[in-house]
Structure 1
Amino acid sequence: MKSLLFFLLCSSFTVTAQQKQSHINLGSSLSPTGNFSWLSASGLFAFGFYPQGNGYAVGVFISGVPEKTVVWTANRDNPPVPRNSILLFNTEGRLVLQTTPGQDIDIAEASGAVSFASVLDSGNFVLYNSDQEIMWQSFDHPTDTILPTQRLPENRGMFSSVSETDHSTGIFRLKIMLGDGNLVQFPKDGADVPEYDYWHSDTSLTGGNVSLNLGVDGHLYLLNNAGFNIKNITEGGYQKEGMIYFMRLDYDGIIRLYSRNLTKKSSKSVLWESLQDKCVPMGLCGYNSFCVLNEESPECRCLPGFVPVNPGNRTAGCERNFRSESCINRPGTVGSSIQQVENTVWEDSSYSDLSQTTKEVCERACLSDGNCEVALFSNGQCSLQRLPLRFGRRDHNTDSKNIAFVKLHTTPSSDCIDHKEVAAV
C-alpha cells in the first residue's frame, strides 16, 4: 500500500535519485514466453511484451489487474513479433528487439549514452545516463493515451489505435495547434483546417507553447507558456487513493477520461468524453458510406447501389455492386436513375457547383452529367461530386434540408450483374 500511495502522491514524472524506482541494468532481456516484462517499483505498471494479433507487441501496460490496459506501444505499426523474439537492453545501452538472428530493431532512440533504465510508477519508461539524466522517455512519445503527470505539448500529435486489441495507428488524431493553443480532433487523413475539425477545446489565440496535462486526481487541463491554466477540460478533484486515471483518444475518434479502481480490481469507467454523438468523428465510416446512430451505437450504411467492401470492417467503406462503365449505353440497359438520401452530410469535393437553384434542377444536372455520381443539395446550393464520397453521417438537425442525389446505373443485362466496381481512391 505504501508504494501505491507513493504513486498516487507523485506530482511529477521527473525522477530524482531519492525516488523509489525499478532499476534495469545493461544486459537485461525479456522474452514473450519467459520473463516478459519489467515492473515499476509498486508493480502498478509494466514494460515488456503483451499479446497482439497472432504474436506480441512491446509496450507499457497497467499490471496486476484482470483487464490489461495498454497505455503505450513501441513501433506500433510494425507487425506482431513471434514468440521466440527477445527484447535486449544491450551492453551498448541500446534497447533493441531481436526477431531474427542478426536483426536488431531499435525501441528507443536515446539522445546520449545510456547506463540504465526504469519503469516508473507514473507509467513512464525512462533511459538514463550515468548521472541519472533522462536520455529518452516514453512520456515524450505518446501513442493514444495520456497518464497522470504526462503532458502533450503543442504541435505533437497523438493517434487513436485501430481497435481495443490492435494498437497500431488508427484513423483519428489529436493535437494542439502550433502557436494557437487550440486542442483539436481531426481525421488522420484530413488537413489541419477548420473543415476537418470535428471537436476542439475552444481555446484559439491563447498563445504558444500550450500543453495538455492530466493530474493524479483526474484533472484534465490546458496550460499556456506562462504556466497559467487556460482551460479546464475536466474539473478533477476525484478520489486519489486506490485510483488511477488516464485519458485516451479511443479508436472511435472520441477522447475519454477513464478511471480505474485498483483496490476493487474493477474494469475502467468513463468519467468524461469529448462527444456524445458517436457519428461525429469524421472517417468513422469508410468511403461511400455514412454513419447512423442505432440506439446510440454508430452504424455504417452504404449509399444506394453500393455494398460493403468488407462487412466486418466499417472503415473499409462501400463499392458499387456492378461495373457501371461496362453496362452504360450497352444493348439491354435501362440507363441511369437517381435515388435520394436525405439528411446526410459529406465532405464537399465538388467539381462543379450550381447556386440559387432547386432540388429538381440539381437532380437533373447530375443525371445528365456523365461525370456526376452524386449531387449534394442544401439551401439552394448544388454540388456535383465524383466518387468516392467520404466523411458521411446522418444529420440529426430536425431542420436539415440536405439531400444526396445518388446516381444508379441500372441494367437487366445478365453479363453486367454481379460485377463490382471499387470506387477510385
Structure 2
Amino acid sequence: MCSPFLFTVISLLLSTPFSSSTLLRITKGSSLSVEKPSNVLISANRIFSSGFYPVGNNAYCFAIWYYQSLNDGSYTMIWMANRDRPVNGKRSKLSLLKTGNIILTDADFLVVWATETTWASSVQLELCDTGNLVLHTLAGKILWQSFDSPTDTLLPQQLLTKKTILVSSRSRSNYSSGSYKLYFDDDNVLRLLFDGLETSSVYWPDPWLIPWEAGRSTYNNSRTAILDSSGHFKSSDDLKFSAADLGIGPKRRLTVDVDGNFRLYSLNEKLRAWVVSWQAKDNPCTIHGICGPNSLCTYHPKGGRRCNCIQGYKMKNHKDWSYGCESDFALSCNNDEAAFIKHPHVEFYGYDIEYFPNQTLEGCEEKCLKHCNCKGFQFKYDTINGYSLCYPKALLLNGYRSLEFKDPIYIKLPKSNLSSYDKPHQEFRLDCLHQVTALLDRAYKKQQENGTVKFMLWFACGCGGVEIIGFLFVLLYVLYRNRQGSRATEKGYLQVATGFRKFTYAELKKATCNFSIEIGRGGSGVVYKGILSDNKVAAIKRLTEANQGEEEFLAEVSTIGRLNHMNLTETWGYCVEGKHRLLVYEYMEQGSLAENITSNTLDLKKRFEIALGTAKGLAYLHEECLEWVLHCDVKPQNILLDSNYQPKVADFGLSKLFNRGGIGNSSFSRMRGTRGYMAPEWVFNLPITSKVDVYSYGVVMLEMITGRSPTGAVHTKDDNGGMEHRRLVTWVREKMRETTTGNGSWIEEIIDTAMDGEYDKNKMELLVRVALQCAEEDKDARPTMSKVVEMLLGHENDGF
C-alpha cells in the first residue's frame, strides 16, 4: 500500500491545476472521464497528479505530472499510458473493470491501452507519494504499477531494469516516442541509443571505447539502476554519479530529453524551475542524429548548439529539425561530373563504405568517385604511422564542426555549379521552433437513427439558424462600420491586397521561441529569426522605442506596408500591443552585406549588382513611393542579400516619413544613423534631406570595395616613417590623387584583398568614383540616388 487510509477525507478537499475537485482512488466499476476535468487523482503529499492531459488538437493522454506548475505556467510530465495513441476529447474513459483490468477507451469504444490484470476480489488504483500509480489489492498486493513501464523519466526509488527502456519525447510539445533511448544492452552496459527512421547508433558511452575504458563493467547479470532520494545514482555496470545539490530534500527526476541527452534535474522551489544537476553529455554535438543527416553541428558554451545544412543541401522539414537536410541537386555516376568541396575541422562519425590506409588526397578522391553512393570522404592523418587514412562515406550523419578536429572532410557535389555552393545553407536551432502537436481524427460509433426525421429536424434548424446568423451579421457589420469608419476599410483592403497583416505579440513570441535567436541588432531594435504559423521563415524586429503612440506607429507601418520594390525587404506585418512594437520582414538567406564583405564569395559582378540594387531601392524610397521616406541609417548591416546575393534594403520607413510637399520641414529631434556612415549635416545641425542617405550609400560602397570599415581609422605611414590616421573617404581620395603624380595604380592599393586580383579595373574605378561623389562633404555636390542608378546602369553589362 502506498499511503495511510486515513488521508481520504483530507485528499477530497485538495485541488488540482485543472479543477477544485479531485479523487483519491478508483475502485472496481468506476472510471475517469476525459470530459470531466475534476476527475484527477492526486497524491497525499500533493506532489503528483494523474488524469487526462491535453497533448494536441482534441487529443488527450492519460498521464502523471507534477501537481504544481512551473514559473512559465507549464507542467512537468513524468509518465503517459498512451503517448503514441492519444484519445478523443469526447467520451473517452479510463475504467477499472470488475475483472480487475484497467482499460483506456477512445470515443469509439476502442481499447487503446490496458493493464491486462485480473483479480476476483476488491482492488483500487491509487497515486502514491513517490509518483507511482499503483493498482493493488486491499491486502497491499501490487497487481500493476507505472514504475514498471516508464516513458522518458525515472523518479527516485524507481528501478530501471533490463525490461524497461526510457524513450525521449518527439519534441517539447509532442509527447509521442522520439528517437533516443536509454537501455541495458546485451553486454549488460547502460547505453544511450539514437534510433532514427533509417539508422541507429550508440553514442554513450563513447562508441569507440570498450566498456572498461569508459568505466563500465560487463561482469553482471542483474541489469538494474536506481536513483536514491539523496541524489545518488548507481547502476549494475558500475556507472555512478551524484546530483550537484546532493542531499535529502529537493525534488528530482532523471529524463532522456528530446535532444538525446540524459539529465538529472533538481527543482528550485523558489524559482519554480528545473535545474540540471548532472548530464551524460556536456557537448550536445556529440549526440548522434542531433541535427539530422547532411548537416553540421556546432557548439559554443554561451551560444548553444546550432545546425547548418552543408553545401548543396537544404532543410527538409521546417517543423522538425531532426529530419536534417536533403540534396538540392542530382548527381550522376559519371566521374567527370562530380567534384569535391573541402570542410576543414569537420568530422562525420560512422557509415564508412570502406577504410583505406596510406592514401593520397587524389587517391581518396578517386575511390569515392568510383562509388555512386559515396557522399564524400573523411581524410585523416595518422600521426602514429605517418600516413593519411581515407574513409569514403555512404551517409553524411553525425556531422560535427570543431577546431579540435585537425582533419577535413570532402563533400561530393556536381562540378557544373560547384561555385554556387560557397557556404552552408540554412541555419536552424531550438526545439520550440519545430513543435509538432498530436492531432486526432477518430470516428464515433453512433446508434442508428431515423434518417428522415433526422433530416427534417436538421433542415428546420438550419433554416432558422441561417436567418438568425444573417440578421446578426448585418447588425454587427453596421455597428462595426460606424465605429471603425473609413480607416478600418482601408486597413482591411491593405491586408487583403498586399498580405500585410497585424500579428499578436503571443504569435511572434511563439514564432521566435521567446525571442531567443538573435540575427541582428541596431539602434532601433533587435532582429530575431522566427517561423510563422504558415511555416514561413521571418525576420522579426523588436523596436526599442516603445514610447511611440499607437496612432503614430500605425500610420507609419501603414505606409511601410504599401512600399513594394524588389530591392526593399518585404514587410509582412506588424504588432502593436501595449508598449510592444514589432515589425515582421522576409528572412534573407545570405544574411547582411556586413557578414559577406570580407568573404571571398563577393566577386566584382556581385559587388556591382549590390551597388546597383541598393541604389535602386533608395531611389524608390526617395522619389517613387507615395510618401517621402528617408532611411537615415544606411549601412552594411541594413543591406540584406537573398539566396542569389541580390540586395534588399532593410530597416526603412520608421526613421522619418514626409508628405511630398513637406520636404522643407525636415526637422529631427535627435541625430540618427551610425558613426562612420553619417553625413556632415547631422553634426553641423544642417537641414536633413535625402542627401544624408546618398552620403551613407557612398561610404558603404567604399567599404564594400576596400574591405575596410569606416568606423575605424586607416593607418598609413607618413614621410618620416611614422603612422598617420585617415578616415576611409579621405584615404581613398588621397590614393586616387597619387595617380596623377605617377605613383602607380591606386585601385590595386585600395581593393579588397579577398577579391584576389580578379576584377576589371575600369569597372572598379567607376564604382569608386561614384562612391566618392556620393560621399562629398557638400550635400549639393552629391548626386541623387536616381542619378547614381543612371550612372551605374550605363556600365552594368560591360565586361562581366
State TM-score, norm by structure 1: 0.80
| Partners of 2:101 and 2:118 within 8 A in 1 | no
Match in the other structure for 1:62? 66
Instruction: Give 1:295-314 correspondences, 5 Å limit.
Output: 295-314=302-321
| Partners of 2:183 and 2:191 within 8 A in 1 | yes
Instruction: Give 1:133-172 correspondences, 5 Å limit.
Output: 133-154=141-162, 156-172=164-180
What SS is found at the alignment partner of 2:160?
A: strand
1:50 aligned onto 2:63? no
| Partners of 1:219 and 1:237 within 8 A in 2 | no
- The structure 1 residue matched to 2:92, chosen from 85, 98, 101, is 85
1:282 aligned onto 2:288? yes
Higher helix fraction (1 or 2) = 2
- The structure 1 residue matched to 2:233, chosen from 220, 223, 234, is 220
1:75 aligned onto 2:78? no
User: Partners of 1:198 and 1:33 in 2: how far apart?
Assistant: 52
Give the AA of the match of 2:392: L
Moved more, 295-304 or 53-62: 295-304
What SS is found at the alignment partner of 2:368?
A: helix
Match in the other structure for 1:394? 401
Give the AA of the match of 2:32: L
What SS is found at the alignment partner of 2:222?
A: coil
- The structure 2 residue matched to 1:409, chosen from 409, 414, 426, is 414
Higher strand fraction (1 or 2) = 1
Aligned-pair CA distance for 1:290? 2.5
| Partners of 2:81 and 2:113 within 8 A in 1 | no
What SS is found at the alignment partner of 1:279?
A: helix
| Partners of 1:213 and 1:223 within 8 A in 2 | no
| Partners of 2:64 and 2:131 within 8 A in 1 | yes
What SS is found at the alignment partner of 2:130?
A: coil
Aligned-pair CA distance for 1:348? 3.0
What SS is found at the alignment partner of 1:315?
A: helix
Unaligned ranges ≥5, structure 1: 1-13, 225-229, 413-425
1:359-384 deviations in whole A, cap 9, x for unaligned?
23213433465443212222212122
What SS is found at the alignment partner of 1:301?
A: strand
What SS is found at the alignment partner of 2:82?
A: coil
User: Partners of 1:311 and 1:237 in 2: how far apart?
Assistant: 38
Aligned-pair CA distance for 1:258? 0.9
- The structure 2 residue matched to 1:318, chosen from 325, 339, 359, is 325
Match in the other structure for 2:132? 124
Instruction: Give 1:342-381 correspondences, 5 Å limit.
Output: 342-367=344-369, 369-379=371-381, 380-381=388-389
Match in the other structure for 1:336? 338
1:207 aligned onto 2:220? yes
1:106 aligned onto 2:108? no
Aligned-pair CA distance for 1:20? 6.0
User: Partners of 1:237 and 1:45 in 2: how far apart?
Assistant: 22
Aligned-pair CA distance for 1:236? 7.1
| Partners of 2:296 and 2:398 within 8 A in 1 | yes
What SS is found at the alignment partner of 1:109?
A: coil
Moved more, 16-25 or 143-152: 16-25
User: Partners of 1:270 and 1:158 in 2: how far apart?
Assistant: 18
1:24 aligned onto 2:58? no
Aligned-pair CA distance for 1:178? 4.4
| Partners of 1:154 and 1:178 within 8 A in 2 | no
| Partners of 1:247 and 1:258 within 8 A in 2 | yes
Aligned-pair CA distance for 1:405? 1.4
What SS is found at the alignment partner of 1:78?
A: coil
Give the AA of the match of 1:273: Q
1:84-105 deviations in whole A, cap 9, x for unaligned?
4222223332222222233222
- The structure 2 residue matched to 1:38, chosen from 30, 34, 41, is 41
- Pick closer, same or farther for the CA change 1:370–1:166 going to 2, 3 Å: closer
Match in the other structure for 1:250? 257
- Pick closer, same or farther for the CA change 1:291–1:94 going to 2, 3 Å: same
Moved more, 93-102 or 107-116: 107-116
User: Partners of 1:284 and 1:167 in 2: how far apart?
Assistant: 18
User: Partners of 1:147 and 1:194 in 2: how far apart?
Assistant: 21
Moved more, 208-217 or 367-376: 367-376
Quote the RMSD (CA, aligned, Å). 3.1
Give the AA of the match of 1:306: Y
1:238 aligned onto 2:240? no
1:121-160 deviations in whole A, cap 9, x for unaligned?
1000011135321111110111111111111023632111
Match in the other structure for 2:104? 97
Q: Relative contact order: is structure 1 or structure 2 higher (C-alpha 8 Å, sep ≥ 6)?
A: 1
- Pick closer, same or farther for the CA change 1:370–1:235 going to 2, 3 Å: closer
User: Partners of 1:203 and 1:370 in 2: how far apart?
Assistant: 40
Aligned-pair CA distance for 1:191? 5.3
State TM-score, norm by structure 2: 0.44
Unaligned ranges ≥5, structure 2: 9-23, 382-387, 418-800
1:287-311 deviations in whole A, cap 9, x for unaligned?
2222111544222222211111013
Aligned-pair CA distance for 1:239? 4.8
- Pick closer, same or farther for the CA change 1:196–1:161 going to 2, 3 Å: farther
What SS is found at the alignment partner of 1:361?
A: helix
- Pick closer, same or farther for the CA change 1:188–1:19 going to 2, 3 Å: farther
User: Partners of 1:277 and 1:95 in 2: how far apart?
Assistant: 43
User: Partners of 2:113 and 2:208 in 1: how far apart?
Assistant: 35
| Partners of 2:60 and 2:87 within 8 A in 1 | yes
1:388-420 deviations in whole A, cap 9, x for unaligned?
3222222442xx3332211111447xxxxxxxx
Identity of paired residues, percent? 27
| Partners of 1:210 and 1:222 within 8 A in 2 | yes
